[in-house]
């Protein structure tokens, strides 16, 4: 699962932005951007915010995709993933 990377690539391509331009904004290299788009690397939260600005997309959209991918990576191989995620959702609702 790589919703975040796929969305970044989609936005970048639709706006005709090169990976090297993204890399310059993130102060990294094009290899990182390529791996990010393929789901092989995860950016830091600050980089997600920069990407939202650069790609002119809602920050919350990218942050939620980024976070969803991170959570998925943690629970994907767990038999009790569904139950655990439901418990987390309940706890989040209770604290808000």
pLDDT in tens, 7-22: 999 999 999 999 999 9
pLDDT mean over 35-62:
96
Indicate whether 64 pLDDT > 90: yes
pLDDT mean over 72-96:
93
Nearest 10 degrees: Cα torsion 15, 18, 21, 26: 90
**Any idea which fold 3-95 has?**
434 Repressor (Amino-terminal Domain) (1.10.260)
Decide if 65 contacts 3 (C-beta within 8 A). Answer: yes
For the chain, give every domain's residue range.
Answer: 3-95
- CA nearest to 50, candidates 39, 40, 62, 38: 62
pTM for the structure as a whole: 0.87
Q: With the C-alpha atoms ordered 20, 35, 5, 73, is the resulting torsion angle positive or negative?
A: negative
């Amino acid at each position: 699962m790589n919703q975040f990377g796929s969305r970044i690539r989609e936005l970048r391509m639709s706006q005709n932005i090169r990976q090297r331009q993204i890399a310059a904004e993130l102060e990294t290299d094009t290899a990182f951007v390529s791996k990010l788009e393929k789901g092989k690397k995860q950016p830091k939260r600050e980089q997600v915010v920069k990407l939202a600005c650069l790609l002119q997309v809602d920050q919350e959209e990218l942050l939620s995709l980024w976070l969803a991918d991170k959570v998925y990576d943690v629970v994907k191989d767990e038999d009790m993933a569904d139950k655990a995620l439901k418990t987390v959702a309940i706890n989040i609702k209770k604290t808000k």
